[in-house]
Structure 1
Amino acid sequence: MALNLSIVLSGLSFFLRIHLQPIALQPRGGSGTVGVNYGLNGDNLPIPSDVINLYGRCGINIIRIFEPNHGVLDALKGQANLVLWLGTRNEDIEGFATDQVAANAWVNANVVPYYKDVNIAYITVGNEVVPADAAAPFVANAITNIMQALVNAGIQSDIKVTTVVAMTALEVSYPPSAGAFTATAAGVMKDIANVLGSSGAPILVNVYPYFAYASNPEQISLNYALFTSSTPVVVDGDLHYFNLFDAMVDSFYAALEKIDAGGVGIAISETGWPTDGNEPFTSVDNALTYNKNFVKHVTSGVGTPKRPNVFYDAILFEMFNEDLKAPGVEQNFGFFYPNMNPVYPFWNC
């Protein structure tokens, strides 16, 4: 997660994976399963094997890592019930896009030694390079070349290749039906959507109602941000929105429709609420309320007003408070301290 996840608001715009089968026992996608991101931006974090054991004790079924860490990948071997979303570094994207040999080398180094023993569901090509990162124009071809690299390596599995996008890719997000990409993002997103449309992979989106709310508490109610509103807050045609998360996701669906990509699904690669950071509205109570209600919402299969009764998978941010992240809220999204004690009681472990 980057600090620029703060959602740009305008006026009232307050929103914003064929023959050998891996060992998977869990559904790969669209199952309403919730996981947790595992970041490594700390100098005092537990060893990977202890972390993976913690995931198991807590019954967390999806783990996302932001780049291939072989210590983590080794610890995941044989963990059939833990699904992995495996990221690539942003700085590698242009190389993947322009050189099939580079894509082949990455797959040979980071997937071939592991895919039979590690339950890899997604390879995520970069994190939040869309809309503004210089690598953004290369993402679609990088996805294509990583897909081809899997074929070249003889990996006949159902690993999907996609990317992670921030809500800042939207120029307009209110009302949700008006959702539209920025001029910078639209062409890039159309190219990415074309690739994903042919492969069946969803687009992964980082969705943070916290940042939207903290940016404009005068116009956004805390109940709306925390899933606690008992009445609709936004009425958009026939669609009634009781929570900001749904409105943000549906604005992204609307933006996809405007680039003729309405058939591309969405999964949630990050969401959460900070417990501290000397910023407004950060607290254990708010984090507990948001995350508890978010899990209930996702696992219920209710979907969103625009996509009702559609299951999607989602990953909460994040496993640990990480002291090497930027000071403030960025260091305070964790469910656990580095000593593996809980920041607040959430998981049954």
Structure 2
Amino acid sequence: MSHHRSDCLVSVPLLLLILSFLLPSFFDTAVCYGKIGNNLPRPADVVAFYGQRNIRQMRLYDPDQEVLTALRGSNFELLLDVPNSDLQRIATHYLEADTWVRNNVRKYTKGVRFRYLSVGNEVQVMQNIEGAVSDLGIKVSTAIDTRSLRGVPPSIGSFTEIFQIFIAPVIDFLVSKKSPLLVNIDTYFIYANNMRDVSLEYALLTSYKNVVNDGSNIYRNLFVALLDTIYAALEELSGGAVNIVVSEST
């Protein structure tokens, strides 16, 4: 198994938060906060719920002002997404990025611990946002998923040829800023789409059998196998110094 250190954010319904603790103990675990649904609890109640269960890291998919206000003083670390609808405008000029950061980040920095900002995979947007937050110590990155990968076993992992066109300049940016790559690893959906070749135990980290042998590395769960596949793909594009933050998992 790779010796890189990864953080993990687990996307699960609030009533199933306990599933996040099935992940290996070497991960820092957080939970994504989605707001699509009916009869949702108040943001203040959700923040309190996280605190009661000692969940100290959160991903928020858009800069919801009510949620950001509720997070003040919570001491949670936050991964905040820049909505896709804002990306084109931010890419046009640094001042647009500065305005976005001022309204959605700086306004809350006295009470909210922003750790990462996730933006689209265009380097110009990433550069503009990074320039607007460089004095705040917030890392700027982008989130990818495992559909961009090819190669089994993990040691020969790489990104698909088409995806390399987009991700190569992003990796160069991440290396230059010492920022991590955000990755969504949805092992259950991989199982659901390929039950013939992927066992439920392998997908849910409960297998006690060796499933993949890769030289001296032995894999009993798909999650770690995918992590090492991504690290191999990064190394192929001169991104061996880039760490991974798992920004979502199901």
Q: What TM-score, normalized to structure 2?
A: 0.85
Whether 1:62 and 2:57 are equivalent positions in the alignment is yes
The aligned counterpart of 2:225 is: 247
Residues 163 and 204 in structure 1, CA contact (< 8 A), matched pair in contact too: yes
Equivalent position amino acid for 2:191 in 1: Y
Cα distance between partner residues in 2 of 1:44 and 1:174: 44
Residues 162 and 202 in structure 1, CA contact (< 8 A), matched pair in contact too: yes
Whether 1:186 and 2:164 are equivalent positions in the alignment is yes
Equivalent position amino acid for 2:176 in 1: S
Quote how far apart the aligned CAs of 1:144 are: 1.1
Cα distance between partner residues in 2 of 1:213 and 1:237: 24
| Structure holding more strand per residue | 2
Equivalent position amino acid for 2:140 in 1: V
Which deviates further from its counterpart, 184-193 or 105-114? 184-193
The match for 2:192 among 193, 214, 218 is 214
Cα distance between partner residues in 2 of 1:188 and 1:245: 24
Cα distance between partner residues in 1 of 2:247 and 2:89: 24
The aligned counterpart of 2:181 is: 203
Whether 1:264 and 2:242 are equivalent positions in the alignment is yes
Cα distance between partner residues in 2 of 1:228 and 1:85: 28
Residues 173 and 248 in structure 1, CA contact (< 8 A), matched pair in contact too: no
Quote how far apart the aligned CAs of 1:87 are: 0.9
Q: Deviations over 1:245-300 (max 9, x none)?
A: 1111111111111111111110101112xxxxxxxxxxxxxxxxxxxxxxxxxxxx
RMSD: 1.5
The match for 1:157 among 128, 136, 142 is 136
Cα distance between partner residues in 2 of 1:115 and 1:32: 26
Equivalent position amino acid for 1:191 in 2: P
Quote how far apart the aligned CAs of 1:182 are: 1.8
The aligned counterpart of 1:96 is: 90
Q: Deviations over 1:89-137 (max 9, x none)?
A: 01222322231111111001111111121011111114xxxxxxxxx4x
- The residue matched to 1:41 in structure 2 has which SS? coil
The aligned counterpart of 1:109 is: 103
Cα distance between partner residues in 1 of 2:224 and 2:178: 22
The aligned counterpart of 1:35 is: 30
- The residue matched to 2:78 in structure 1 has which SS? strand
Quote how far apart the aligned CAs of 1:205 are: 0.3
Quote how far apart the aligned CAs of 1:216 are: 1.7
The aligned counterpart of 1:53 is: 48
Residues 38 and 64 in structure 1, CA contact (< 8 A), matched pair in contact too: yes
The match for 2:78 among 81, 84, 98 is 84
Quote how far apart the aligned CAs of 1:208 are: 1.1
Residues 37 and 64 in structure 1, CA contact (< 8 A), matched pair in contact too: yes
The aligned counterpart of 1:166 is: 145
Equivalent position amino acid for 1:74 in 2: T
Cα distance between partner residues in 2 of 1:162 and 1:120: 13
Cα distance between partner residues in 2 of 1:218 and 1:97: 43
How many residues get paired?
225
Cα distance between partner residues in 1 of 2:170 and 2:190: 26
The gaps in structure 2 that reach 5 residues or longer are 1-25
